[in-house]
């Protein structure tokens, strides 16, 4: 697994060790860049092999492949924050586009049983007014530096799918994830950590940006299902019909606005949302609404989300309350993680 010390990657490592037999060897790869946090793997550190490496460094990754000869590969590694991508787009292109190509090439040169490239709903761009959702057939129409870099990686992986049919590579797009171990630059952990330090929850603009929310454990289960699915060869018709490619959109069909998320977090902490939420300048080019339809993974692979959203939010807030030392150490090392777009940079007010 790459990106294994990040939010979703670390959760997947934890779950994988529960799902697989005791003799499975887990090679956890992470560059420990801005989003990587080795402490996320502390609970399972004695059960994995950790390799510090950059997925965009071909020589390093090929050496890891040849040394361990993996059966399965899951590429979670990505720079994933829209705010930082606006200020540092080159770093996002390196990891999300070049990194995707390096990983696919390594899996081609050192054959694996299957390889999952984990992508995001945001490659589809902003949902047109009147449309219900995106599907695997939707065109890629990314509009931010982060999502454009991920879309570039997607296009590379799609090309590998069809150019190298012997390479068993699959792809997922996920909705917004929430759950434990998420870096407190994202809305839910930022809101909790701000409140616990006596600060208000910052919400961009009017806060009515609408998102599709998915518990990270449900996402991990979907990725694992895709990794092990018997899919068969890609049909020739996939050249003009992307819905036939081994791509699966993962969603719980749970649409919630950013403002409502902020209110739920405040309420879960027993406080009055009217006193603990502040609206701050919106970020540039902010997607207004996006959702994906998970019918394909439900019908073809039998995956279903199992986490209730209200209970999941309450449990997630509780996790950050109980793991204060975990996020305080992050803030001590990285500083404030929110953005203040009134000064076009990182500021103490944060962002949602």
In the chain, where the domains are located: 7-346
Tens of pLDDT, residues 230-273? 999 999 999 999 999 999 999 999 999 999 999 999 999 999 99
Alpha helices in 197-323 (DSSP H): 216-228, 258-268, 273-276, 295-301, 309-322
Average pLDDT over residues 184-195: 95
pTM for the whole structure:
0.94
Query: CATH fold of 7-346, please?
Result: Rossmann fold (3.40.50)
Distance between CA atoms of residues 326 and 247, nearest Å = 35
- The answer to whether 117 and 248 are in contact (CB under 8 A) is no
Which two three-digit tokens encode residue 204? 């961009």
Distance between CA atoms of residues 28 and 24, nearest Å = 12
H or E element: which one contains 35?
none
Contacts of 338 (CB under 8 A, 6+ apart): 185, 190, 194, 202, 346, 347, 348, 349, 350, 351
Distance between CA atoms of residues 26 and 290, nearest Å = 34
Q: What is the DSSP letter of 127?
A: P
Provide the mean pLDDT of the chain.
93
* Angle separating helix axes 7-19 and 216-228, nearest 10 degrees: 60
Q: Has residue 157 got a pLDDT over 90?
A: yes
How high is the pLDDT of residue 334? 87
Q: Which residue's entry shows tokens 């000869």?
A: 69
Average pLDDT over residues 148-166: 96
């Amino acid at each position: 697994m790459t990106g294994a010390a990040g939010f979703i990657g670390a959760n997947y490592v934890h779950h994988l060790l529960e799902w697989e037999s005791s003799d499975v060897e887990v090679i956890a790869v992470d560059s420990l860049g801005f989003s990587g946090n080795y402490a996320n793997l502390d609970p399972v550190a004695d059960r994995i092999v950790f390799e510090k490496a950059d997925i965009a460094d071909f020589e390093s990754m090929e050496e890891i492949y040849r040394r361990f000869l993996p059966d399965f590969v899951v590429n979670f590694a990505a720079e994933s924050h829209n705010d930082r991508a606006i200020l540092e787009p080159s770093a996002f292109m390196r990891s999300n586009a070049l990194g995707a190509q390096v990983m696919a090439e390594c899996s081609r040169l050192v054959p694996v049983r299957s390889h999952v490239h984990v992508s995001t709903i945001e490659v589809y761009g902003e949902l047109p007014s009147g449309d219900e959702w995106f599907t695997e057939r939707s065109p890629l129409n990314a509009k931010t530096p982060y999502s454009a870099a991920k879309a570039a990686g997607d296009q590379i992986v799609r090309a590998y799918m069809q150019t190298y049919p012997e390479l068993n590579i699959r792809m997922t797009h996920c909705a917004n994830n929430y759950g434990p171990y998420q870096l407190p630059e994202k809305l839910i952990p930022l809101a909790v950590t701000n409140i616990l330090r006596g600060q208000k929850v910052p919400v961009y603009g009017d806060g009515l940006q609408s998102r599709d929310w998915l518990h990270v454990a449900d996402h991990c289960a979907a990725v694992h299902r895709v990794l092990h699915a018997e899919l068969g060869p890609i049909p020739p018709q996939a050249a003009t019909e992307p819905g036939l490619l081994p791509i699966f959109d993962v969603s719980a069909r749970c649409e919630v606005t950013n403002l409502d998320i902020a209110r739920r977090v405040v309420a879960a902490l027993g406080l009055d949302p009217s006193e603990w939420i502040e609206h701050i300048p919106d970020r540039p080019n902010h997607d207004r609404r996006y959702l994906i339809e998970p019918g394909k993974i439900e019908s073809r692979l039998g995956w279903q989300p199992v986490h209730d959203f209200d209970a999941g939010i309450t449990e997630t807030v509780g996790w950050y309350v109980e793991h204060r030392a975990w996020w305080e150490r992050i803030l001590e090392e990285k500083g404030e993680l929110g953005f203040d777009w009134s000064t076009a940079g990182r500021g103490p007010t944060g962002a949602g």
